[in-house]
Amino acid sequence: MNYFSSDFKLGILGGGQLGKMLLYNTRKFDIYTAVLDASNEAPCKIACDQFQLGDLMDYNAVYNFGKQVDVLTFEIENINVDALEALEKEGVKVYPSSKTLRTIQNKATQKLFYVDHDLPTAPFTRFAYTSEIKEALNNGGLTLPFVWKSAQFGYDGTGVKIVKSADDLTDLPNVECIAESLVPFKNELSVIVSRSASGEIKTYPVVEMEFHPEANQVEYVICPARIPDEIAKKAEDVALRTSQAFNHVGLLAVEMFQTQDDEILINEVAPRPHNSGHQTIEASYTSQFEQHIRAILDLPLGRTDNKVGGVMVNLVGAEGYSGNVIYENIETIMKMDGVTPHIYGKKQTRPFRKMGHVTIVNEDLNEARRVAEQVKNSIKVISE
């Protein structure tokens, strides 16, 4: 198949920052790319060959868009899976598959998948409605504390809450959910596995994630993770087994906990490029975005090792600011060695909205982490 400078069409469902960074590579390779998104302001709009407005949860919008392309991929999980299934039946290649996405879209189904495939994950209980949890607490079927997770449509800290007392349940939506045992962990780790359509597999080095205590968002991604080799090997093995269980094509980001006694438990997975792989643009031989394109088009996979140590800092909207965005002190951070900002192109900021990221590269990972702290304390995402 000739993908380059040809009439081949790649479709991307979702026009956010992940799609925009995929487009760095479709432009590099001159692959014709069409994007579907519900927002006229989508970051992808400026960089694709064809932009279409449409609701990703709407069957007809997804189906009709998919009929125009040869291979279809996505950068977000909230998509009409029935439409993807129909397209696959009619011969459109959809990577990752509708089957994978259907399992991952629902956190309860996702957790059951791990249990069925003997993959390590924290114990959990599934509930049809949040209101049933109180009864389970009363009759001893559930003990505090636990993590409440909405089964569907949660992302970046929404749809997740640590429940320490029954009062913490009061403001939660009454939806299908899981109550997951609270894991006392040393580290949150992530491994990105890439697998091509013909089965070539590569993993990126294990990264560790440092979280913001209030926003439940990643503050720093550090690559490689500062953990012993045998723990890294364990995490990599779990990630590979997970990818294999899904028979996954494309990228699969496997987020894991390293427990106090050095067990590895799967937290959740994302079947697409992921926040824990942004540093690969500057730090790796092949970025996660290029690798995703290579994998879904069944091209040879690129090298995944690091050229240099990398730390990634998320740029999120500062609290108390909503409106037209201003990046305060961006020149200050650009004076620092090894610092590259990526601005996603969202014109409107609001508290904790992901607006960009900054990568810091250095041969000395501790120095990169020190500079990352400086970056974090200098740049502010505010509004006019």
Contact partners, residue 10, CB within 8 Å, separation at least 6: 3, 26, 31, 32, 33, 34, 69, 70, 71, 72, 73, 293, 297
**Residue 163 among known ligand-binding residues:** no
**Residue 183 among known ligand-binding residues:** yes
Task: Report the amino acid identity of residue 242.
Answer: T
**Residue 180 among known ligand-binding residues:** yes
Contact partners, residue 288, CB within 8 Å, separation at least 6: 192, 194, 204, 251, 273, 274, 277, 278, 280, 281
Task: Report the amino acid identity of residue 215.
Answer: A
Helices 107-116 & 229-246 angle (0-180, nearest 10): 100
**Residue 188 among known ligand-binding residues:** yes
Long-range CB contacts (within 8 A, 24+) of 53-60:
56/13, 56/14, 56/80, 59/83
**Residue 335 among known ligand-binding residues:** no
**Residue 182 among known ligand-binding residues:** yes
Contact 310, 364 (CB under 8 A): no
Annotated binding-site ranges: 107, 149, 180-183, 188, 267-268
Residues annotated within the binding site for ATP are 107, 149, 180-183, 188, 267-268
